[in-house]
Each structure stands twice: as C-alpha cells, then as structure tokens.
Structure 1
Amino acid sequence: MIETVPKSMESFDMLGVCVLFLSLITMSSTLEMITPTQPLRDPVNENVTLVSTNGTFEAGFFSLENSGSRYLGIWYRNISPRTVVWVANKETPLQDHSGVLEVDGDEGFLSIKDGTGAKIWFSNASSHTPRKPVAVELLESGNMVVKDGDNNFLWQSFDYPDDTFLPGMKLGMNFKTGHHRALRSWKSFTDPTPGEFAFGVDTRGLPQLVITKEPSDYIVYRPGSWNGLSITGLPGEITDPLIKSLFVMNEDEIFYQIQLLNSSTKLRSRLIPEGYQVRLIWSDETKRWDTKYPGSFDECERYGMCGANTICNVSGAHQHCECLSGFQSNFADSTCDRTRPLGCNKGDKFQKYEGMKLPDTSSSWYDKSISLGECEKLCLSNCSCTAYAQLNISVQGSGCLHWFHEIVDIRVLAQGGQDFYLRITTSKLQGNL
C-alpha cells in the first residue's frame, strides 16, 4: 500500500526549508552616516557597513583570513579579496559579533564597545565643544571623519594612519599640537597588531622620509629629503603621470603627501611587515593590484649599506661599495678613513658627484635663501663642514644644504639624482665623476 503525504505536510516541509535557507543568508545593509542615535553594529547574519558617497570605500566590522577575531576597519568596497587600509582596534580585537561603534554627541569621540558595554577602543575627544548635530561620515578618499554641525572635523582616521598611505593623507609633524603622523607595519599579513617598523618624517636637520625599526628606532631605509621636485631617493615621482607629490615645511607643520591627478585611479602605498614600502595601483583589466614602486629592490636601498664615507653603486645585477674621494679603505674595521686631514682654511676644494641620492640629512644645516656659490663659501669658512648641495633644484635652483662630519647613505641613482659637493684637500682633487 502506497502512503500519500497530505499537501498540508508538504507545504509545512517547504516552509521549513525556506526558513533554514534564509537563516543561512548574510544580509547586507549600508549607512550614509553614524549618529548618536544610529550606531554601527555587527549582527551575526547581517553585514552592516558605512559607505562613502560614491561607493569607493566602506567601513565596518570584519575578520581576517583564518581568524575569528573581529576588527573595525576601512577597505575598498568593490575590490576582492578585501583590501583593508585602516584598522581601529588592532590590539583589542573582539571575539564575537557583539561589537558596536558609537559616536558621543556631546564630546564628539568614537568608541567601540563589546557585548558587556565595555569600551575596547576609543578616539581622542575634540579640543573644543562641538556644535550639534555630530555625525560620522566616510569620505571618498577613505578618510573616516567625525563632523559637527558646522562641518568642522573633530577627528579623522587620516590623522592616525595604519600601515597604508592613501592619496590626500599627510605623513609628518603638526607643531601646534605635537601630533606625529606615521605608518606602522602589521605584525604579519594576517595580524594587524603593530609590528616593528614605522614610516614617517624625521624632523632632525633637513626633514627626510625614513623607515625605522623598533625597539631603538634606528633607520633601516631612507627615501630621503625633498629637493624641490621630489624626494631625493624617489626621482621617478617627478615624471609620474598619475600623482603629484608635495613636501610642505612651515612654522605650523611638516608633511609629505601625494595627490592623484585622476580621481578614478586607485593607488595606495603599504608598509609591509618585512619593513619596506610598496606602492600599488589597481588594474580594472586584470582585477589585481600591480606593484608600481619599487620596480626592483637592490641592496643600496638599505640604510648605510656600505658604511660611512662610502658610496653605493649598482651596476647590472651587482652592487659594490667604494670609498669617497679623499678616503681609503681601512681593512682592519671595514671603514673608509681620510687619507689626509682637511686643511680647514688652507686651500680645501670640493669634489663634484653627479646623479646622486643625497646622504642622510639628520645632522645637516640648511638655508632657503642663499645661492649655491654662497653655499660653497660658507662651507669653506666652517672647518666642520664636510659637504654641500643645493637645497632646491627646481627652476633655476636655490638654497643651501651643509653636512658635518661623516657622510652616510649616499648612492648613485639610475635616473635623476642631483649634484653633491664633497670637501677634500687640494692635493686629492680629482675630475668629476
């Protein structure tokens, strides 16, 4: 005998299947802003995010690959796999979906709370009383901002960089507030805990871009100082058709910034866990990030690779070190020492080197107004001055830069570069290199 199932039972079974199916679907919803009455939550089966005006970036809670920890971050919205550019709670991840991002309507600070209501991360409060209403928005630049009723920025993520440098972001020092903006590497590609390396501006002497390593913060890579056209170690920025680079120095602040010449370009620089910077551009054709800088990496990029008073040069696949003019190798301790001491005011001259990445400027002196000829005379009049160069090589050139004592981290560049004048005794003067 064949049993038949009542149609009411078939309908009930189908309803159960539909309910089960819907329970497995992750729903998505977006917010244009976060307000004191509309926080950003992290429900289990709903992907709630804050989205920028044109949909380039989104912010929300997420997990990294092979991890159940939850972070509040910012990433490119329509790029797969997810490309994260900023993380808030790097050292205090949530272990479930209980996280809530809130903004305080009275003081204008952000906070992330866990399921118990405890704050696991919070931003700085505004220095002045904000005018209501207060809201959080994500800009098309990838900058998440807290704004008041007068559109004043009370806080912004660009002031607290993670490991990624985006166009429009500033790296450097604000002298009014004492705030220093620098990238910080991740511990690994799957762990955003702060790593060993930082990328920012060294404000000693003539300010320069450096990558340092903890715990002693010694320099490991040095893109260098600004010469009026580009960072001295990044001459390719001068002719780059995609960006314009800036380096601003005034009484209020010092900062390095890149700006896009075409707003549709997706470009980012990342300080990777190994400690060096890579610049990447998104290809819509191949749907991947292509490496734009460095095109290749050589040993001369390592800070002080050859030691003091040496020059590093790469010829083909080979790198070699040689002593600067007027110095000779001391095989006992692998250093370069002067063959004869400088004569001070007794006829010293200068050896000209061309196409160079200028050396470390952390102990240098500079003047923006004097000419190159005056710069040479001023160096000769100071017995401690060991080299000079033009400060600004744009247009007809201007300004003066002096070095004292040892010359560290100078190299020959394959393209670009500038003139460098090394002080030597008259008897050791040689032809131009």
Structure 2
Amino acid sequence: MTGRISVVGGAYGEACSFPRRTLYRGSGGRAAAVLHSLGSEVAWHTLTGPELQPEFAAIAKHIGYELHAGLAEVDVWFNYRFPLGRPDIWPSEVPRHAHAGTVTADNLLVFGMLEGRPKTVAKRAVYDPQDGSSARAYGDNGSTAQELAMVVSLSEGKALTGQGDAEAIALVLLSEPTTSVVIVKCGPQGALVRTCSSAEWIRPFPTERVYKIGSGDVFSAAFAQAWLVWKQAPGEAAWFASRATAEYVNGGQDRFTIEQMGDMQAQARFAQMKARQSGARTVPDKPIYLAGPFFTAAQQWAIDEARAALQDMGFTVFSPIHEVGEGLPEDVARKDLEGLDRSLVVLALIDGLDAGTLFEIGYAVARGIPVVAVGESVAEGDLTMLLGTGCHVTDDLTTGIYAACWKMMGDA
C-alpha cells in the first residue's frame, strides 16, 4: 500500500570517528529516505545551511522525495567519537529560525529541530521530540493534530511529564485529548506501546553489528509508515519499527528493498505472536563487570565511555578502577574477583592484551559467566582461546556494549 507522508525534521551533517563515516542526513533526511524506500511519497520540510544545501538537494533528487528547504544561517554538524558517545554539536549555539508558514498534511511525521520546528497541522501525526531532557510538547508552538502518536525516549518522557517510569509517562501523555498512542523507548528492555485501552511491550532484535546513530529516526519513520499508511494497530506497527531499526543498525543503510521489507514484516509478526503473553521486563539488579586496562588517558576514556553508556541504559556496572581503585595487589585482586562473582556478564576491552583483563576473562569463563570482548586492533591469532571458549568477540565498541546488554536481558 502506497501513501503520502510529510516529514518535518533537521538536515545535519553527521561525522563519526570509529567507525569512520560522514553522512548528510539529520532526523528528517534519514526518515525521508526510509519512508521513500518503504513505498511512500515523501515531502520533507526542513532548513539547510548554505554549504550543505546543494548536498541535500542532490540527495533528494537522487532518492526521489520532495525537498522543501528554507535557508538556515549556518550548517549544523554532529561529531561523534563513536556511535554511543555524546556528540559535539557545531556550532555550539544553533541560531533559532523564525519559520514563515505552517506545514499542513493528512499524514505527518514531526521531529524536534535544533533551530526550532515550524508550526504543523495534521489529520494524523507521529511526533518524536528528539531533544532528550529538553524535550518540548508537540503543541508548544501551536501545532495541532486530530490524532497524535508520541514516540519518546525514557529521558524525553521524564522531561515532558516529570514521571519516572514508562507506564506513568505514557498515562500522562495520553491525558492530552488528541493523543491516542504513546511509545516509550527503554533501551534493551524494549519499548512500551500504550493506548487508553491497551498496553504492550515490544522487544529489540539483537544484531551482529550496531551503528546507533540515527536509530531513533528509523524507528519513528518505520512506525509512521506502518501506522499512518498501512493502518496497522499501534503494537503491530511498533514491532515492525523495532525490526526495521535492527536492519538499519546492522548494516547502516537507511533504504530498504522490497525483499527486506517483506522479511521485516514477517519477522515482526512472528516476534509479536511469540511475545504476546510477556509483559514488562526488569533490568537485572546484578552488575555487568567492566574489565579493561586503565593506565593511559585513552584506556581510561574507553572505560569511562563504556561505563556511562551501560549506566544510561539502566544497568549496574562493576568497574574495578571505579569500585575498587588502586592498592596492594592482594587487596585489589580479592575485591575484583568478588565483583566478578556477583556479576552476570563480563564486558572486556582487550586492546593491548592487558594481563589483568585476560586473567579476568579466564576466571569468568571458568565460572560460566558470559564474556563479551571488544578488540579494535587485536590480531586474530591472539583470539584463539576467547573464540574457542565461546566468548562473544567484536571489533566495535558500540556493538560490544549492546551485546553485553542483550546477554543481560536474555535476548542473546
């Protein structure tokens, strides 16, 4: 079934160091690409900076969607060290833009924009605020919709409602007269899909690789396609969105073939039927053991980033340098091993093949504790014992962090 969707969202440059990748997307551009590949006619309303404007015009012509772009004062770039890191945004203060008109459409997908989004009027709309703790309500700028679906992260939901858990957030958002669907994304736990009469938890689909940048854009776009155009029920649409997001993060491609779309729909339906009797899943209270050297600035940075990412997703982390610190060998070793014994999963950063880290991996394997090892520059010959004892080995930090989370939740 084809349809037409108007998209309101940012047009930004995106640069990532590891893996090294430069893209011209932003939330609006990525959603437009996804929706067009899923069969919709797309009109994208955005702002483009003076130097990137020709790039976005060329991409729109190549893919085949309509581009309605006002001229922004500056080009905006998101610069990532790795996909789970907090980006450096340039410029640090993005000028606000006074939009002249109103975007009116039957079907509308709206994202928050750093420059400020235009007023929108829709029959049915999907709104993704995109602003984390600074999230703003859909109607804050006078926008209206006869029927609204909200797609929020847990942090955005907290900012919008002051509530701390997914169910409470959803109920507050549903109290708005035109809001009929709320999706609260809770990381590896999955997402709560809530209407006034039903509640359903959807689960993530584990993947071999994880390119996290833009995954939320893909989720909202796929949900919009399924709910607005295909007229699927909210839960069915959200399961499809979760499966489409997995396809994106595994390959980094935001355009799907007809064959991929059919496979994603079938796998989403199967997963929904399989999980129909399950409810919310709680994050285990036991920790993830974060093993790795911390003797240089680069090593400590990697430990800090991994620990912060895991904690942001709601997990408890035992990091020896943070929980035990330095001291006499016999004291440090005893306390570290006690932490290992309490942990459910080990995430080990193995670049440099630090002796202590390798000892901790061996100890965990002997105790039957699952191990995820991340080695960005480790020779294959040095991985024999890890691979031979069933450790999950990857050369990508983001992928390793998610693999540890999925093991904690029983998904992998």
- The answer to whether TM tops 0.5 is no
Which structure: larger Rg? 1
Q: Which has the higher contact order (CA 8 A, sep 6+)?
A: 2
TM-score, scaled to structure 2:
0.27
Query: Normalized against structure 1, the TM-score is what?
Result: 0.26
